Amino acid sequence: MAKLEHIERSEVLRYMGHQGEPEPELSALLDRCEEILLRDARPKYTFAVFDILRCEDGISLSGCRLELLGNDIKAHLEGCERAALICATLSSGADAAIRRAEVSDMALAFAMDAAASAAIEQFLVMADEEILSALPGYYGTWRFSPGYGDFPIEVQRDFVSALNAQKRIGLCVSESGILTPRKSVTAVMGLSREPLPKKRRGCAMCAMNRTCLYRKRGGHCGF
Amino acid sequence: MDFKTLLERKFVMLDGAMGTMLQASGLEAGGIPELLNLERPELIESIHKAYIDAGADIIYANTFGANRYKLSGCNKSVSEVIGAAVKIAKKAAGQRALTALDLGPIGQLLEPTGTLSFDEAYDIFREQIIAGAEADVIVFETMTDLLELKAAVLAAKENSEKPVLCTMTFEENMRTFTGCCVSSMALTLEGLGADAIGINCSLGPKQLEPVVKELCRWTRLPVIMKPNAGLPDPVTNKYDVTPEMFALEMAEVAKSGVKIFGGCCGTSPEYIKAVREILERTDIPHIEPLIPAAVCSPSKTVVIDQPRIIGERINPTGKKLFKEALRRNDMDYILNQALEQTKAGADILDVNVGLPEIDEKEMMLRTVKSLQGITDVPLQIDSTIPEVLEAALRVYSGKPIVNSVNGEEKSLETVLPLVKKYGACVVGLTLDGNGIPQKAEERFAIAERILNRALEYGIPKENVFIDCLTLTASAEQAAVMETLKGVKMVKERLGLKTVLGVSNISFGLPNRVLINQNFLAMALTNGLDLPIINPNVESMTGAVRAYRLLANIDKNSAEFIAAYNDAEPQKTAPKPEGDLSLAHAIENGLQGESAKATKALLESHEPMEIINDILIPALDKAGAAFEKGKIFLPQLILNAGAAQAAFGVIRERMIRSDKAPVSKGKIVLATVKGDIHDIGKNIVKVLLENYGYTVIDLGKDVPCEEVVKAALENKVKLVGLSALMTTTLKSMEETIRLLRESGADCKVVVGGAVLTQEYADSIGADYYAKDAKETVDAAKEVIG
């Protein structure tokens, strides 16, 4: 199972909205964050692979009740025969670490929150590789998550349940559809026997596209 | 046949997986398996029968996920689904096997990681337990959160008479997903009156062997082992341990003293048959371990096999700042007291929030819930009011200490039943209706009486701690040695652990620290196990560390050396003095410097002067630089943190000198119902406080009505609402609607990642703040 050994500093700074070299105080703060998170978080993921059946308003999967609705997920899975559903979490240990920081030191809490966001993404990149290595002969798309484009975020509960993710990695969904522990991700990776054209994710898919600081500055986050 | 009779056998056999069998019959991923009780009862019955034929003594009805949360949206009630399932199982079982009502986790995480409250969790389980009243035993399995399991066990115990079996799911690191460790599980569940406890799911028998071994060391209850058939292949979902291998591994595990066996994911009747056959031929030892005196939180067990420090600082007695924090409902202050003491070396924290003018029960509940969200140090619940004790005992996750009971019958008969019911430890004070006896022998007699009454209530001896009571040396000098004599007698003759509040000894004397330290050392030598002290006083914690070293407990002086070896002499780098230093500290985000500079300034300046002339200009400067893009959010927050430290010093000074704390006005802040992302709101809070506003922070996932209530009660001019998710924006809209309807005379400022000016306008907010700085601007405009 993939293991986090460090947290990419430049990514943490990006999540914090920081530009340029960090000042010594900020660097020291990020050192502390990394140490605490690597100690307290127990990242885990689980996945399952299904054959894709196309349907009118999205994608349905063979042997799975879950329907992936919307045009964007349909487009995302174009050319794919199968799909890997992935659930990952940094664990409740990460939440507790952030909570502790919030009580005593807001700057630390803010940095921890950003570091945890960077960590879960970094962990998923490692998971992607492991998943693909378990599926020899397949090429994978990038991960497409509920809430991107018109792929409804309301699918979280059924998504988590289809993967039995509470039992497998301790991932739940709150009454209002939020993944808990907080630093968690669900995503779909399309799988194809043929090499897939590289697509950039782009801002149109992003729920933040109207408020994003990077866009306001005229750039993008690299997403 | 009943469960008790079954236990007289050499071993008891449970069934194997239900889900695996259903998948083999074509159940799709994501379907609700419990609906098959109504749709295909004959399929469920045939699975039960196959397990009974394979040798199961107890079968689990198909009720694992049949709760109101998981069934919502499928038009079937909990009682319909569970009723049908138990009926099918009973029909299949006949006289051949017992039927278990099988309940898994609810599917939502409890507060504070999730939003489900303890009471809601209790109610969900209660509904299931009532629906499954026809079953012979109740099983809770695959649990990972000790508090959720506690809610379940209480619901079972309070709503039925059936035996309760509990199994939790552990990883290879010997912890559950939520960090619960084996010893804490055992101590807590045995205390709550479970009838058998154990392990299920996650891994195969071999990988779980260390976990089950550890469990057998920590419990006198029958131990259950219901592992998976190894690990599944992620792509094919096939498990890697065959029935034969599984049986061999289970026979090995049995030697640790396991009593009840079964299979979880990946197992089938073949596995159960193979295990049954091999166990018939295996010697299974009956192990009755000696359980040490210990308390725990889910992730930390503190064994009282050496002096352990109970931190006394969470207590308003004689503390102006603490009292003020209670009146202001300032939970962060209390939580910081916990973090500070833990860092200093406290092993257990005493929690007392009694103040005549506040609702102690409500405050105790909030405090215990908040504390267990941020610290893993076990708690000692300290109150004179039984209702307060019970409220805290209910929601405490783990095995706490109750402080206290005394030798008076009235106290014994109200407190001890609570201690028994919730499986706590208890501090017995050696006093009664006649007060505190002079002589050690008389105090010993009361200790003995308390112990005997505790035993009568079924409280194990190791859960009773005795406090021989420290009297003030200046007033009752002769009593000091009597107290110590009492400690020694209780320790040696009753074999109980002893507690003493230490600091009281020096009341009214000069150089209290010296007296306290010496008395502590004397008491430890006489057998004191649990000194209640201020761990932040280095000489006190140091005395305990030194004792552990000298008494040959701290082997090779390892802990002592770790505590002191890297203590460097304080660096004294020259820093600019006074206001220059404060502005500098804020600009550079230096919290310690900022507090120090403020203290220095307070010698010669009025608090308001410091706020208006130094703090706010420094913050404005940072805010302007942020707006211009010269600094970024991290620096802004670092600056705010430093300013917050300065404010802390000023507030402390004002409370100590009985002046009303400075405030420009009150603002209510909340993260709306359904949303749990509160970091943005918390950043806003710090900034607003820095500008001199009093923030009433309602927290996250706040019901709309609660915001309205707080706004009206406090007559605030401004309410700030935060939401991060598109799905929770509707709660924001609803909160604003209710605020308007209530006639509250306030403006509303909203913020959060997915909000826009247009959306804010459309839901009737007065201000949209794109960042924390803009919220301050709104506050300035509304309040001034």
Reported residue count of chain A is 223
What is the rounded average pLDDT of the residues B493-521? 96
DSSP state of A207: T
What span, in angstroms and rounded, lies between the C-alpha atoms of B592 and B585? 8
DSSP state of B376: -
Task: Measure A215 CA to nearest chain B CA, in Å.
Answer: 14
Q: Angle CA(A181)–CA(B297)–CA(B228) in degrees, nearest 5?
A: 60
User: Checking phi first, is residue B752 left (phi over 0); if not, alpha (psi -120 to 50) or beta?
Assistant: left
| Interval B514-534: pLDDT, tens | 999 999 999 999 999 999 999
Task: Measure B297 CA to nearest chain A CA, in Å.
Answer: 14
Contact between B592 and A28 (Cβ < 8 Å): no
**Pick from B173, B567, B422: nearest CA to A93:** B173
Fold of the B294-560 domain = TIM Barrel (3.20.20)
Domain ranges of chain A: 9-216
User: Which residues of B are less than 8 Å from A178 in CB distance?
Assistant: 115, 674-677, 725, 727-728
The rounded Cα A22 to chain-centroid distance in angstroms is: 26
* Confidence band of B782 (pLDDT split at 50, 70, 90): very high
Which alpha helices (DSSP H) does B76-179 contain, by range?
Answer: 78-93, 118-131, 146-159
Probe site for chain A from B333, B631, B637 (most A CB atoms < 10 A)? B637
User: Which residues of B are less than 8 Å from A92 in CB distance?
Assistant: 109, 113, 177-179
What is the rounded average pLDDT of the residues B359-369? 96
Residue B672, phi then psi, degrees to nearest 5: -65, 165
Q: What is the pLDDT of residue A218?
A: 66
What is the rounded average pLDDT of the residues B308-316? 97
Probe site for chain A from B201, B591, B671, B679 (most A CB atoms < 10 A)? B679
Q: How far is CA B193 from CA B162, B186, B222, B387, B424, in A?
A: 11, 11, 12, 21, 11
What is the rounded average pLDDT of the residues B770-776? 89
Digit-by-digit pLDDT tens for chain A (223 residues) are 789 999 999 999 999 988 889 988 899 999 999 999 999 999 999 999 999 998 788 899 998 989 999 999 999 999 999 999 999 999 999 999 999 998 888 889 999 999 999 999 999 999 999 999 999 999 999 999 998 889 999 999 999 999 999 999 999 999 888 999 999 999 999 999 999 877 666 676 666 666 666 666 666 665 5
| Least CB–CB distance from A211: residue in B171, B677, B753 | B753
With CB atoms and an 8 Å threshold, state whether B679 touches A110.
Answer: yes
Q: What is the pLDDT of residue B572?
A: 46
CB atoms within 10 A of CB B167: 27
Q: ipTM score of the complex?
A: 0.90
Q: What is the pLDDT of residue B570?
A: 45
Task: Measure B94 CA to nearest chain A CA, in Å.
Answer: 31
What is the rounded average pLDDT of the residues B362-369? 96
More confident residue, B329 or B49: B49
Task: Look up residue A11 and give its two tokens.
Answer: 């990514």
What span, in angstroms and rounded, lies between the C-alpha atoms of B666 and B660? 14
Task: Give chain B's mean pLDDT.
Answer: 94
* Confidence band of B588 (pLDDT split at 50, 70, 90): confident
- Quick check: helix, strand or coil at residue B746? coil
User: Which residues of B are less than 8 Å from A90 in CB distance?
Assistant: none
What span, in angstroms and rounded, lies between the C-alpha atoms of A167 and B177? 9
Task: Look up residue B227 and give its two tokens.
Answer: 């592992």
With CB atoms and an 8 Å threshold, state whether B29 touches A63.
Answer: yes
CATH number of the structural domain B571-651: 1.10.1240.10
**Which chain B residue has its CA at the smallest distance from A179's CA?**
B114
Does the global pTM surpass 0.90? Answer: yes
Contact between B374 and A96 (Cβ < 8 Å): yes
The rounded Cα B439 to chain-centroid distance in angstroms is: 40
Given a cut of 50, whether residue B571 has pLDDT beyond it is: no
User: What radius of gyration, in Å, describes the C-alpha atoms of chain B?
Assistant: 30
Task: Look up residue B136 and give its two tokens.
Answer: 């012979």
The answer to whether the B3-280 and B294-560 domains have the same CATH topology is yes
Beta bridge mates, B572 = none
Contact between A47 and A87 (Cβ < 8 Å): yes
What is the rounded average pLDDT of the residues B212-216? 97
Which of A9-13, A23-27, B182-186, B300-304 has the lowest average pLDDT?
Answer: A23-27
What is the rounded average pLDDT of the residues B553-565? 92
User: Which residues of A are less than 8 Å from B176 in CB distance?
Assistant: 170
Reported residue count of chain B is 784
HSE of A152, CA atoms in CB hemisphere, 13 A: 14
Which of B127-131, B137-141, B148-152, B566-570 has the lowest average pLDDT?
Answer: B566-570
| Least CB–CB distance from A99: residue in B112, B177, B675 | B112
Given a cut of 80, whether residue B434 has pLDDT beyond it is: yes
Q: How far is CA B159 from CA B130, B132, B152, B383, B756, in A?
A: 7, 11, 11, 28, 50
User: Which residues of B are less than 8 Å from A189 in CB distance?
Assistant: none
With CB atoms and an 8 Å threshold, state whether A208 touches B753.
Answer: yes
What is the rounded average pLDDT of the residues B145-152? 98
| Least CB–CB distance from A174: residue in B29, B115, B201 | B115
Task: Look up residue B612 and give its two tokens.
Answer: 């208006």
Task: Look up residue B462 and give its two tokens.
Answer: 């190791």
What is the rounded average pLDDT of the residues B555-568? 84
Given a cut of 50, whether residue B734 has pLDDT beyond it is: yes
Given a cut of 50, whether residue B469 has pLDDT beyond it is: yes
**Pick from A36, A83, A99, A113: nearest CA to A186:** A83
State the CATH class of domain A9-216. Answer: alpha beta
With CB atoms and an 8 Å threshold, state whether B108 touches A175.
Answer: yes
Task: Measure B629 CA to nearest chain A CA, in Å.
Answer: 10
Contact between B416 and B457 (Cβ < 8 Å): yes
User: Which residues of B are less than 8 Å from A135 in CB distance?
Assistant: 235
Task: Look up residue B421 and give its two tokens.
Answer: 């019911």
**With respect to CATH, is domain B663-784 assigned 3.50.50.60?**
no
**Pick from A124, A118, A112, A110: nearest CA to A169:** A124
Q: What is the pLDDT of residue B269?
A: 98
State the CATH class of domain B3-280. Answer: alpha beta
Q: What is the pLDDT of residue B630?
A: 85
Which of B66-70, B98-102, B176-180, B574-578 has the lowest average pLDDT?
Answer: B574-578
**Pick from B663, B660, B645: nearest CA to B582:** B645
Q: What is the pLDDT of residue B568?
A: 53
Task: Look up residue B417 and give its two tokens.
Answer: 């039943």
Task: Look up residue B274 and give its two tokens.
Answer: 């193979």
With CB atoms and an 8 Å threshold, state whether A66 touches B30.
Answer: yes
Domain ranges of chain B: 3-280, 294-560, 571-651, 663-784
Contact between B736 and B764 (Cβ < 8 Å): yes
Contact between B95 and B57 (Cβ < 8 Å): no
With CB atoms and an 8 Å threshold, state whether A174 touches B674.
Answer: yes
Q: Which amino acid is at B320?
A: K
What span, in angstroms and rounded, lies between the C-alpha atoms of A173 and A176? 8
For B128-195, where are the E strands, in sequence order?
137-143, 164-168
Task: Look up residue B343 and give its two tokens.
Answer: 């860092």
What span, in angstroms and rounded, lies between the C-alpha atoms of A157 and B107? 9
User: Which residues of A are less than 8 Å from B336 in CB distance?
Assistant: 103-104
Given a cut of 70, whether residue B764 has pLDDT beyond it is: yes
| Interval A161-203: pLDDT, tens | 999 999 999 999 998 889 999 999 999 999 999 998 776 666 7
Q: What is the pLDDT of residue B347?
A: 98
Beta bridge mates, A192 = A139
What is the rounded average pLDDT of the residues B287-311? 96
| Least CB–CB distance from B30: residue in A100, A161, A167 | A161
